[in-house]
Amino acid sequence: MAPLLICGFILLKVVFGDACASGQFTESGECCRVCPAGFEVAVECGKDDTKCTPCPQGTFSSSEDLGRCLPCSQCPYGVPTLATCSAVEDTQCECDSDFFYFRAYGLCAPCSKCKRGEGAAQECGPKGDTQCRLCVPGTFSEEHANTKPCQTCTQCTDSEVEIRACMPNSDTLCMDKKLHILSRDTPSWSGVEEVTAGGGSPAPGTPKFTPQGEKGGNNILAYVSVLAAVVLGLLVYVAYKCWRSCKQKQALSKARAAELGASPEGEKLQSDSGVFLDSQSLQDNQPCKGTKRDSKQDTRLYINLPPHRQEEVERLLQEGAGRGWRQLGQALGYEAEQLDLFGRGEAPARTLLSNWALKEGSTLGLLCSALARIERPDVVSALNCPAQGASVV
């Protein structure tokens, strides 16, 4: 009898809207309470109600943690701390623009972007990644990749007519009421003959519909001509840019082929710093050893490399066929999931090297060794690492 009474009590609570938030009940039928943020479950709900206890020092719990205290995060090396950890909120790390702190991997990852018809319910930043949701009626988002909330639909004015209603992926389309394809002339009472479709004359006072006047037609032709000229100009500009880019790539390829062809095995290739490198040493397992005077590994930090040199390295890894930034990331010890996160951004090679440069011991020696393992001597040359046995001229 007692179990039936308990089930009936629970059913009445659900039917009348007083549903249990935790979804659990004590043996007497009372709703088990949920531990608030900053607390964790000390004793599970059963015979008696749930018992909560504050989170210990160095831990936190939020409303999404279901009553569990989690250890506070530590910002990666080189990433400033925006807000320290509290009992109700984790440590907030100040990543660069369009990046957020990914707690699971302990790094700054590129922000996710919402699709067309979706907007950001939570913008990417110190609080976490972008949270996307479909645009509700009255809002829209026309961008294919955005991190902004849905925008409010446009309302047509009294002088406009609505051509297309607002949809989640497109705004309202309005048109001026004065822009008509057909114009209605004033009824003619002068007795001028007006020919109808049947060949007869219409009755006096019948309105006549004629195409828009010569002035309107000239305006349309002018608009079409201007639009055609703009499109043609854009096509010519794009074709010129493609041609110029191809010529530059061909010239660079010829220059590299000539440099490598003129340096047989045993000769020395000249680098930007005036140091001649043995061509065979580029294939060595440790291509970044010091000169005769210093045989230790190159201890210069990658983060101190000139910006133009870093951009050249990123470009080579981004455009390199076969062995690029992803293979380099594996050689530097990154996991596949982390590399997938970097790949979501527009410049994954820059993201990888920027993240790696913030770690301790991110020297050119380690980077060149990793590049040698993935067989990228061209990137090693761009880094301008001194090779073993090099002689300074």
Residue 295 has pLDDT above 80, yes or no: no
DSSP 39: E
Residue 83 has pLDDT above 80, yes or no: yes
Tokens of 323: 């062995």
* C-alpha–C-alpha distance, residues 351 and 310, integer Å: 12
DSSP code string of 93-120: E-PPTTEEEETTTTEEEEPP-BPTTEEE
- Close Cβ partners of 340 (under 8 Å, ≥ 6 residues apart): none
* C-alpha–C-alpha distance, residues 154 and 52, integer Å: 50
Instruction: Please report, in angstroms and rounded to a whole number, the separation of the first and last CA atoms in the chain.
Output: 100
* C-alpha–C-alpha distance, residues 369 and 259, integer Å: 23
In this prediction, residues 304-320 reach a mean pLDDT of 85
Residue 206 has pLDDT above 60, yes or no: no
Distance of CA 231 to the CA centre of its chain: 30
* C-alpha–C-alpha distance, residues 228 and 49, integer Å: 75
Provide the pLDDT for residue 177. Answer: 78
Provide the pLDDT for residue 4. Answer: 55
Distance of CA 223 to the CA centre of its chain: 37
Residue 293 has pLDDT above 60, yes or no: no
- Please say whether the beta carbons of 206 and 194 come within 8 A: yes
- Please say whether the beta carbons of 97 and 123 come within 8 A: no
In this prediction, residues 110-124 reach a mean pLDDT of 89
- Please say whether the beta carbons of 274 and 355 come within 8 A: no
Count other Cβ atoms within 10 Å, centred on residue 102.
18
Residue 390 has pLDDT above 90, yes or no: no
More confident residue, 2 or 167: 167
Provide the pLDDT for residue 387. Answer: 43
Distance of CA 258 to the CA centre of its chain: 40
Provide the pLDDT for residue 59. Answer: 92
Best-predicted range by mean pLDDT (75-84, 127-136, 278-287): 127-136
Best-predicted range by mean pLDDT (16-20, 103-107, 269-273, 329-333): 329-333
Residue 376 has pLDDT above 80, yes or no: yes
Write out pLDDT tens, residues 125-154: 877 888 899 999 999 998 887 788 999 999
- Please say whether the beta carbons of 383 and 304 come within 8 A: no
Torsions phi, psi of 216, nearest 5?
-65, -40
- What are the structural domains of the chain? 2-71 (2.10.50.10), 81-110 (no CATH), 268-392 (1.10.533.10)
Provide the pLDDT for residue 259. Answer: 54
Write out pLDDT tens, residues 29-64: 888 888 888 898 888 888 888 889 999 999 988 876
pTM over 0.95: no
Q: Report the range of poorest mean pLDDT among 9-13, 24-28, 123-127, 352-356.
A: 9-13
Tell which phi-psi region holds residue 66, choosing left (phi > 0), alpha (psi between -120 and 50) or beta.
left
* C-alpha–C-alpha distance, residues 208 and 221, integer Å: 25
Provide the pLDDT for residue 66. Answer: 64
106, with CB counted inside 10 A (0-12, 13-18, 19+), is middle
Hunting for tokens 């907007």 — which residue is that? Answer: 119
Q: Report the range of poorest mean pLDDT among 6-10, 20-24, 310-314, 332-336.
A: 6-10
pLDDT over 70 percentage in the chain: 70
* C-alpha–C-alpha distance, residues 186 and 202, integer Å: 15
- CA angle (102, 104, 108) in 5-degree steps: 25
Residue 304 has pLDDT above 70, yes or no: yes
* C-alpha–C-alpha distance, residues 142 and 164, integer Å: 15
Provide the pLDDT for residue 138. Answer: 92
Residue 321 has pLDDT above 80, yes or no: no
Q: What is the Cα gyration radius of the chain?
A: 35
Residue 200 has pLDDT above 60, yes or no: no
Residue 280 has pLDDT above 50, yes or no: no
Provide the pLDDT for residue 209. Answer: 45
- Close Cβ partners of 296 (under 8 Å, ≥ 6 residues apart): 289, 290
Q: Report the range of poorest mean pLDDT among 8-17, 66-75, 89-98.
A: 8-17
Tokens of 200: 């007869």
> Could you tell me the strand order of the sheet in which 268-270 lies?
268-270, 275-278, 391-392
Residue 257 has pLDDT above 70, yes or no: no
